[in-house]
Amino acid sequence: MPGPGRAPIVEARAIHKHFGHLHVLKGVDLTVAEKELVFLIGPSGSGKSTLLRCLNRLEDPSSGSVVVDGIDMLDPRTDINKARQRIGMVFQSFNLYPHMTALGNVALALRKVQGMGKAEAEAKAAAALDRVHLADRADHYPLQLSGGQQQRVAIARAIALEPRVMLFDEPTSALDPELVGGVLAVMRELREDGMTMVVVSHEMGFAKAAADRVVFMSDGAIIEEGIPSEIFTNPSHERTRAFISQIERH
Amino acid sequence: MTGWERFTDSFFNARVMAQYLPKIVEGFFLTVELAALIIVAGLALGLLLALVRAFAIRPLNWLIIFMVDLFRALPPLVIIVLLFFGLPNAGVELSGFVASWLALTLVLMAFSEEIFWAGITSVPKGQWEAARSTGLGFVQTLAWVVLPQALRITIPPLTNRTIAITKGTALASVVAVPDILGAANAGVSFSFNPSPLTLGAIAYLVLFFPVVVLGRWIETRFAWKR
Ligand SMILES: Nc1ncnc2c1ncn2[C@@H]1O[C@H](COP(=O)(O)OP(=O)(O)OP(=O)(O)O)[C@@H](O)[C@H]1O
Ligand SMILES: [Mg+2]
């Protein structure tokens, strides 16, 4: 819960999103405090990804307001490319650039967006790879890395820009079970370093251990939210209960 | 004369070959020049149109698609003849060389635009999103992330198309350009012996065989590192 004295990093208000006739987000409010880890769960198609993507404007909300680290993301005068550097994003499918090494993947935005020289960018990229324990894989191309390693490179690519908040959209869903742990471990270390995070995931064990707050979405709206133990063991809504028992059966 | 002797006398007549070799060599270099100019201009224009198309400006895209379809539909020879015999009526005189160059450049532009465009659209949306989420702009993403990937997939079809269209330089002989085929044809009519055509075929092989091999090499060179 955003306690006193903890400034919100993300403040989304009354977000609506339409895709043609499809009403995907129906007035969602989401506030994330500094250093908070918010876990976003809900059935497939409930709008979790769309909500995340509205936060860094990969999707334009149809209405509502999004303020991240004090920047009005929907103001047309906002330099969106500058603002996005404060919001790291990690995707289910990694989306590493296949024509670049791990180091190249991480260094690209440092060079082209932040204008660093080659040496400086590569030093910073190497440090980011070190944080995800892949310093020795800097020269590998994505296809030479396991899925878990690719996802950690993707995390390094995002954190190298020193974002104020990290968005994770099902970061472990595409991974073989034995590779999930390495990615979750890196995420936990990030959290311990004080990173603000919004995580969409079905990894309930991770949520119980690391989340400050669990938000349950269904059908484009937030149904309920609370601390993990409360949501997982004693949800107040039938839909939450049904979803959780379904997840836990897997 | 046995049949075999008649055959060698017709197609491998050393005297006739020696006589027309210099003309064929001249034709060879003319064909190389024409082909090189077509490849450079055609591919550059094709890439330019595909890049403009990526900006998704509606009326501009309709125009590009219309042009591309037009030059893909018309037989190259028809375009050459139209430019060479038709344009003078509009007060524009083009040499056979320029008319052939322009026609085949437009055809290669059209086909390569489609190939470049297919390459650009085949790059997964996730690549755009990952790049944009780190703050890269549209043009930066296109330049550093999408285009390098698009170009790789375009190399095999592009090589094939480029070879097919530059072989069309032989059509220039129709508008009196003394390229390989033009020179060979002229040799046949003067000598009443088809041996110059054999020389012409050899010249085409010498010209295009390395190109085909080069295309294969580029393909393997640019495969993803595994
Ligand atoms: N670009 C789009 N165009 C049209 N419809 C879309 C688009 N993106 C998402 N949708 C629709 O919006 C709804 C919510 O999608 P979203 O991806 O946000 O759900 P989700 O909660 O992330 O689901 P999942 O758990 O399957 O990832 C779905 O019905 C989806 O089909
Ligand atoms: Mg999703």
- Pocket perturbation via mutation, ligand 1, pick of A21, A24, A91 by most ligand atoms within 8 A of CB: A24
For chain A, how many helices (H) and strands (E)? 9, 10
**Which pLDDT does position A1 carry in this prediction?**
46
Distance from CA of B79 to the nearest CA of A (A): 39
Average pLDDT (B173-184) is 90
* Predicted confidence (pLDDT) per residue in A113-137, tens digit: 999 999 999 999 999 999 999 999 9
**Which pLDDT does position A2 carry in this prediction?**
47
CB A24 near ligand 1, within 6 Å: yes
Backbone φ and ψ of B69, nearest 5°? -65, -40
Average pLDDT score over chain B: 92
This complex has an ipTM of 0.93
CB A46 near ligand 1, within 6 Å: yes
Residues in chain A: 250
Nearest CA in chain B to A161: B134
Nearest CA in chain B to A108: B144
Average pLDDT (B183-202) is 91
Between the two ends of chain A, the Cα-to-Cα distance in Å is 29
**Which pLDDT does position A187 carry in this prediction?**
96
Instruction: Determine the Cα–Cα distance for residues B114 and B49; give it in Å rounded to an integer.
Output: 9
Q: Which residues surround ligand 2, an ion (CB under 5 A)?
A: A 49
Residue B168 has pLDDT above 60, yes or no: yes
Nearest to B133 among A84, A96, A143 (CB): A84
Nearest to A97 among B127, B132, B133 (CB): B127
Instruction: Determine the Cα–Cα distance for residues B33 and B39; give it in Å rounded to an integer.
Output: 10
Of A44-48, A123-127, B70-74, B193-197, minimum mean pLDDT range:
B193-197
- DSSP 3-state of B168: helix
**Which pLDDT does position A3 carry in this prediction?**
47
**Which pLDDT does position B220 carry in this prediction?**
78
**Which pLDDT does position B7 carry in this prediction?**
87
Residues 6+ apart with CB under 8 A from A64: A12, A13, A14, A15, A16, A27, A28, A54, A74
- Chain-chain contact of A108 with B134 (C-beta, under 8 angstroms): yes
pTM of the model: 0.89
Average pLDDT (B185-195) is 90
**Which pLDDT does position B211 carry in this prediction?**
84
CA distances, B57 to each of A225, B134, B226 (Å): 44, 25, 38
Contact criterion met (CB below 8 Å) for B195 and B186 = no
